């Protein structure tokens, strides 16, 4: 096993089995201790995605205390906000005759049409009031181009960079720990794009909730696993 692949192996969710095998008789610790090269990426924990919001994610509010606790472990925290123009191209209301969750063919590809959500400067676009991230260092807003959506914190739907990869690289970050809403859309696209940009990527499953429209959650996990995104739980981080 090369040094690189052994390190990747040891940090994987399967680290218990791996280290027990490498050091027989030694109790294996799967714990990840975040350091200077790690960032907690808190995705779209905004009122519109919480129960009662216009694009409510079931149990979306449940991620808040988990993320608040995780935040104590990280020196680097970046937050994202979905930040759409009124009448944004991703809204069903912008397409005559369309209903929420219909698909549309747009110049950059297939687009799910959503209920109006996270309109710039509205209360729905505010971060959840209970989210406590006083040490967060950067807020990335995305989806603000009227004719273009951006699920990912790294790249808009046509591939345009948001600048986050450059920011993280200049800060010496190597591992991205993604949490928030929704697992199968913005968390998934962000984690996969983190891999594409050369970061190690982890999704902290109990700090996320999915929309799960027509099997989208299972599909998202298949895609994330194929991209080398590692699924962990918050108890793995201490």
Spatial distance between the Cα atoms of 108 and 86, rounded to a whole number of angstroms: 20
Of 68-76, 127-135, 168-176, 178-186, the window that binds ligand VGL (rule: CB under 6 A) is 178-186
Sketch the per residue contact string, 37 through 66, with ligand VGL: x for CB under 6 A, - otherwise: -------x----------------------
Phi and psi of 111, rounded to 5°? -130, 125
Listed in sequence order, the residues at least 6 apart from 129 whose beta carbon sits closer than 8 Å to its beta carbon are 47
| Residues forming the site for Zn ion (CB under 5 A) | 82
Q: Please say whether the beta carbons of 144 and 156 come within 8 A.
A: no
State the DSSP code for 237.
B
Q: Minimum Å distance from CB 124 to ligand VGL?
A: 12
Q: Is residue 148 at the binding interface for ligand VGL, with CB under 6 A as the rule?
A: no
Helix orientation angle between 3-11 and 15-22, rounded to the nearest 10 degrees: 130
185 binds, among ligand VGL, Zn ion, none (CB under 5 to 8 A by kind): ligand VGL
Residues contacting ligand VGL: total by CB under 6 A: 8
Q: Is residue 182 at the binding interface for ligand VGL, with CB under 6 A as the rule?
A: yes
The two three-digit tokens of residue 108, written as one number = 């950059």
Residue identified by tokens 């108890």 is 235
Integer angstrom CA distances of residue 85 from 111, 117, 119, 142: 16, 10, 6, 10
- Cβ-based nearer residue to ligand VGL, 182 or 229: 182
Q: Minimum Å distance from CB 1 to ligand VGL?
A: 36
Sketch the per residue contact string, 152 through 171, with ligand VGL: x for CB under 6 A, - otherwise: --------------------
Spatial distance between the Cα atoms of 161 and 93, rounded to a whole number of angstroms: 27
Q: Is residue 186 at the binding interface for ligand VGL, with CB under 6 A as the rule?
A: yes
Residue from 91, 154, 185, 221 binding ligand VGL (CB under 6 A):
185
Spatial distance between the Cα atoms of 209 and 96, rounded to a whole number of angstroms: 30
Q: Could you say which residues in the range 107-146 bind ligand VGL, by CB under 6 A?
A: 114
Give catalytic residue positions.
44, 142, 186
Instruction: Enumerate binding residues for ligand VGL (CB under 6 A).
Output: 44, 82, 114, 151, 181-182, 185-186
């Amino acid at each position: 096993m090369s040094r690189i692949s052994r390190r990747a192996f040891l940090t994987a969710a399967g680290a218990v089995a791996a280290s027990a095998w490498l050091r027989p008789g030694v109790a294996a610790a799967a714990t990840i201790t975040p350091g200077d090269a790690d960032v907690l990426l808190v995705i779209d924990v905004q009122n519109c995605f919480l129960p009662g919001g216009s694009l409510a994610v079931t149990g979306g509010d449940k991620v808040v205390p988990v993320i608040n606790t995780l935040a104590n472990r990280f020196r680097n925290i970046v937050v994202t906000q979905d930040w759409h123009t009124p009448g944004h191209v991703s809204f069903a209301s912008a397409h005559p005759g369309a209903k929420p969750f219909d698909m549309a063919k747009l110049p950059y590809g297939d687009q799910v049409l959503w209920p109006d959500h996270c309109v710039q400067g509205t209360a729905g676009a505010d971060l959840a009031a209970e989210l406590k991230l006083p040490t967060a260092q950067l807020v990335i807003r995305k989806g603000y181009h009227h004719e273009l959506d951006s699920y990912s914190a790294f790249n808009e739907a046509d591939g345009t960079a948001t600048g986050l990869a450059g920011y993280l690289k200049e800060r010496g970050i190597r591992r991205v720990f993604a949490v928030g809403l929704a697992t199968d859309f913005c968390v998934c696209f962000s984690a996969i794009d983190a891999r594409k940009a050369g970061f190690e990527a982890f999704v902290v499953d109990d700090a996320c909730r999915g929309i799960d429209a027509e099997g989208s959650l299972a599909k998202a996990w298949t895609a994330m696993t194929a991209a080398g995104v590692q699924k962990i739980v918050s108890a793995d981080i201490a």
